[in-house]
Copies of this chain bind each other. A is one copy, B any other.
């Protein structure tokens, strides 16, 4: 089909290397919501004592209905615990995810700002970028950060 004339277009029978990159991106997106919700729940719990559906809806820019259904999925997947009409709590698994996500998120923001990107745009871009930043790239960002490049190993600097 469409191999017209004798042009003999050679095509690869097995998956191209590019395919793996797109697959990885789709995997990133599959955990993205869990990461953002975990972060938001952890923040709200610290800021106001508890994370409630309305607060999450406001912070994430969706309706409370969307939050409700997402929380059900997150509970199914073991990231949160919740009971009808009560606040939402992170499980141990959820707390680990929140912690790692928050650290990575803040590092990405700081890195963009260190490049001269405005804080506003840095925060806008980082919200999406963060989920695609691997451990290796995150380490490269940290190493490139002016003041904090060598810190963090043990945690104390000048």
| A-to-B contact residues, CB < 8 Å | 1-2, 7, 9, 11-12, 15-16, 18-25, 28-29, 36, 40, 48-50, 52, 54-55, 58-62, 85-87, 112, 115-118, 121-129, 131-134, 136-137, 140-141, 143-144
Contact = CB atoms under 8 A, between A and B. Distances in A.
Contact of A116 (B55, B112, B124, B143): B143
Contacts of A58: 11-12, 15-16, 19
B124 A21 contact: yes
Contacts of A40: 18
B59 A16 contact: yes
B118 A61 contact: no
Given A2-B50, A115-B140, A61 B12 contact: no
Contact of A60 (B22, B122, B144): B22
Main secondary structure on chain A at its contact with chain B?
A: helix
Q: Which of A48, A55, A132 has the most CB of B within 10 A?
A: A132
B123 A137 contact: no
Nearest to A55: B11
Contact of A133 (B7, B22, B25, B125): B125
A46 to B, nearest CB: 13
Contacts of A12: 58
A69 B133 CA distance: 30
**Lowest 4 CB-CB distances: which A-B pairs, in order?**
A128-B132, A19-B61, A25-B128, A21-B127
Given A58-B12, A115-B140, A121-B134, A22 B36 contact: yes
